[in-house]
Chains A and B, each alone.
Chain A
């Protein structure tokens, strides 16, 4: 991993207007994505992980907007992009995406070949038989047998795992620098999940891609990620190298998240689950967003938003527990078992 950021998010705020109310979906997030790394963004549903990556491609829903902050890529500030013309210089060409549900992310009326060729025509500037040849080669790259025959079939003739391979082939056809995988295995059978993860990992190495995984499956994270960012209520609460976040987590939310791993459950006992619900993003959040669900929350957690404390040069967490004056709170003992039991 280089230490050179390829994409740099600074103090990003994203808001949505929903039925006349305003929702603050991304709250002052800063994040550097380094060239060649694989970053996993984890967090529960609604924590803003998808929205964050959508802002990189201008794919936010119509009712959402970037309120402030910047997204620096290649000397340009993507947060200032307005027109579709500007975004077309980024979409596919620089950043490509693999969506969650392969059953719906292909056009049912077009052959697999045509859909890959569409991306090839846009980003490799070849059409006709040459584009078709490249599409077939890509299909074979992503592990589809009989690619020539398969390229002339329609999505409904493919299984879910095969379709996800096709979606990955489309992303590869764009020749991107950054690949965003939005829960690429959530909708798949467990047996297929591992295959797809391996495929993505192999392709990422082959094409030297920078990858962002969005997931709430910590097993996936352990498998693929160099770095992990933990999101809660539209904010990154902890970020660090995968082993740092797994074995030396600092934020109470990360502790809670890790404690709920089924691997750590004891047979016969209930699995750990985090009490309460995430805060409403319709209201401004005061202090640490996780405080109301944290039984060990400090008084200051309810009053002032903690800054990002540096744990190591690569590991940061947004919690008052890291303040020099804070009382010493130990992580839940169950997390010690993580170190013994190699994850996944």
Chain B
């Protein structure tokens, strides 16, 4: 098990390295106009000075080397355009906690809503809950998120008599952004759980449990649900990514001072060090999420084992 985890971690680091390098190189292919607010008015000399200051005049491999050298010392660099001269670690440390808090809350909420909905759908195939859930899932997947986010914001705030914008100190204003953020994952949990539960219901061991005389409610909980949950486990850490992508738009809608909008913002301004750091951060979260998913599966499912066992038969 430990050996497996180490192997996976090593592979994760390699993945991360590849992602960062690609992003790094791609960023260097951008037109240089993006680094200036007033490109047309500057002389060639001025432009070259600024580019040299940004470290962009060296050959790309040399730039890459510098970047990694600094990174290994724990230095993420400073922002060059977004907030000139501020350390990137500082910017993220200031913005991340709120986003993480909201993200975790919305993940918890989507589990709380999605799992019971999926289970109810599987139990009442073609009856009310199944139809209700199907409409919900199709709606969430078919309608662009931006549309229902706005409707939730407009009607939700109106109904609750609160302002359109987020206020950290007023807990009521947390409800709508967290709820909106959780909808995507809720729909995917419900959809997959329903499907996996229906798969399990038709299996022989469920028939045997019925023949044994187990009450159908217990069959659902003890046998069907647990088995259906195994493949679901993979999706839970992966939904961190969903939540992140959802947060980008929602945070700007409600003016949440988190880091959701940050990535889009810094890409627009070609703040290379910030883009690199954020991409690295998000990829790291994603990769760790997947690893966590695989490990969780092994905890739940005895058939998955990372060590070779002897005498299995």
Which residues does A use to contact B, with CB under 8 Å?
57, 59, 84, 88, 90-93, 96-97, 99-101, 104-110, 118-119, 122-123, 154, 156-159, 162, 167, 170, 174
Q: Is B212 an interface residue (CB 8 A)?
A: yes
Which of A100, A101, A107, A157 is the most central at the interface, judged by chain B CB atoms within 10 Å of its CB? A107
Kindly list chain B residues whose C-beta atoms are within 8 Å of the C-beta of A119.
Answer: 212-213
Could you pull out 28 A-B pairs where Cβ atoms are within 8 angstroms?
A84-B216, A91-B210, A92-B213, A96-B211, A96-B212, A97-B211, A99-B204, A99-B208, A101-B204, A104-B203, A105-B204, A105-B205, A105-B207, A105-B208, A107-B209, A108-B205, A108-B303, A109-B226, A110-B223, A118-B209, A118-B214, A119-B212, A122-B214, A154-B302, A156-B303, A156-B312, A157-B313, A174-B213
Contact yes or no, A167 B208, CB < 8 A: yes
The 4 closest A-B CB pairs, nearest first, are A92-B213, A91-B213, A104-B204, A97-B211
| Given A99-B204, A157-B313: A109 and B302 interface contact (C-beta under 8 Å) | yes
In the complex, what residues of A have CB within 8 A of residue B199's CB? none
- From residue A253, how far is it (CB to closest CB) to chain B in Å? 29
Which residues from chain B contact A108 at a C-beta distance below 8 Å? 205, 227, 301-303
Cα A108 to Cα B209 in complex, Å, equals: 13
The answer to whether B208 and A122 touch across the interface, beta carbons within 8 angstroms, is no
Residues of B with C-beta under 8 A to A93: 213
Partner-A contacts on B (CB < 8 A): 203-205, 207-216, 222-223, 226-227, 230, 300-303, 312-313
Best-surrounded residue of B211, B222, B230, B303 (most CB of chain A within 10 A): B211
What residues of chain B lie closer than 8 Å to A174, measured between beta carbons? 212-213
Across the interface, which residues of B come within 8 angstroms of A84, CB to CB?
Answer: 215-216
Complex Cα spacing A100 to B300, Å: 27
Q: How far is A108 from B230 in the complex, measured between Cα atoms in Å?
A: 11
- Known pairs A91-B211, A174-B213; A109 contacts B204 (CB<8 A): no
Main secondary structure of the interface of B (DSSP, over half): helix
CA distance A93 to B204 in the complex (A): 19
Least CB distance, A131 to chain B, in whole angstroms: 14
Contact between B213 and A122 (Cβ–Cβ < 8 Å)? Answer: yes
Distance between Cα atoms of A93 and B227 in the complex (Å)? 26
**Residue in A59, A156, A159 whose CB lies within 8 Å of B211:** A59
Known: A154-B302, A158-B313. A106 touches B208 (CB 8 A): yes
Cβ B211 vs Cβ A92 within 8 A: yes
| B212 adjacent to A92 (CB under 8 Å) | yes
Contacts of B301 in A (CB 8 A): 108-109
Residue of B nearest to A159 (CB): B313
Which residue, B209, B215, B303, B312, has most C-beta atoms of chain A within 10 A?
B209
Secondary structure at chain A's binding surface: helix, strand, loop or mixed?
Answer: loop
Contacts of B216 in A (CB 8 A): 84
CA distance A97 to B203 in the complex (A): 15
- Kindly list 16 other residue pairs between chains A and B, CB separation below 8 angstroms, not including A99-B207, A118-B209: A59-B207, A91-B211, A93-B213, A97-B211, A99-B211, A104-B203, A105-B208, A106-B208, A108-B301, A108-B302, A110-B222, A119-B213, A122-B213, A123-B213, A157-B313, A159-B313
Task: Using A109-B230, A157-B312 as known contacts, say yes or no to A104 and B205 having CB atoms under 8 A apart.
Answer: yes
A162 to B312, CA, bound (A): 12
State A323–B171 Cα separation when bound (angstroms): 89
Q: Which residue of B lies closest to A116 (CB)?
A: B212
Contact B211 A107 (CB under 8 A): no
CB contacts (< 8 Å) of B205 on chain A: these are 104-108
In the bound complex, how far is the Cα of B230 from the Cα of A250, in angstroms?
54
Name the distance in Å between A51's Cβ and chain B's nearest Cβ. 13
Shortest distance between the CB of B296 and any CB in chain A (Å): 14
Contacts of A107 in B (CB 8 A): 205, 209, 223, 227
Give Cα A123–Cα B215 distance, bound, in whole angstroms. Answer: 13
A192 to B: closest C-beta gap in Å: 13
Q: How far is the CA of A96 from the CA of B212 in the complex (A)?
A: 7
Cβ A118 vs Cβ B203 within 8 A:
no
Chain B residue, CB-CB nearest to A173: B212
Chain A CB within 10 Å, residue with most, of B216, B302, B303? B302
Measured in the bound complex, the distance between the Cα atoms of B312 and A105 in whole Å is 19
B202 nearest in chain A by CB position: A61
A93 to B212, CA, bound (A): 8
Most buried by B among A59, A91, A162: A91
A337–B214 alpha-carbon span in the complex (Å): 48
**Distance (whole angstroms) from the CB of B71 to the closest CB of chain A:** 43
Residue of A nearest to B208 (CB): A105
Report A211 CB to chain B, min CB distance, Å.
15
Residues from chain A with Cβ under 8 Å of B222 in the complex: 110, 118
Nearest-CB distance from B130 to chain A (Å)?
14
Please give, as numbers and ranges, the residues of chain B lying within 8 Å of A123 by CB-CB distance.
213
Q: What is the bound-complex CA distance between A88 and B218, given in angstroms? A: 13
Q: How far is the CB of B19 from chain A (nearest CB, A)?
A: 35
Chain A residues near B302 (CB, 8 Å)?
Answer: 108-109, 154, 156
The distance in angstroms between the C-alpha atoms of A279 and B168, with both chains bound, is 73
A342 to B64, CA, bound (A): 85
Tell me the nearest residue of chain B to A88, going by C-beta. B213
CA distance in complex: A91, B211 (Å): 5
Q: Please name all residues of chain B whose beta carbon is closer than 8 Å to the beta carbon of A118 when the two chains form the complex.
A: 209, 212, 214, 222
Residue of B208, B213, B302 ringed by the most chain A CB atoms within 10 A: B213
Q: What's the least CB distance linking B230 to chain A, in Å?
A: 7
- Which partner residue on chain A sits nearest B224 by CB separation? A107
Contacts of B209 in A (CB 8 A): 107, 118
What is the CB-to-nearest-CB distance from A269 to chain B, in angstroms, rounded to a whole number?
A: 39
A154 to chain B: which residues have CB within 8 Å?
302-303
Give the docked Cα–Cα distance between A118 and B215 (Å): 11
Shortest CB distance A23–B (Å):
19
User: Which chain B residue lies CB-closest to A156?
Assistant: B303
Closest to A107 in B: B205
Distance in Å: Cβ of A229 to nearest Cβ of chain B: 21
Please give the distance in Å from A61's CB to the nearest CB on chain B: 9
Query: A170, B208: Cβ atoms under 8 Å?
Result: yes
B304 nearest CB neighbor, chain A only: A156
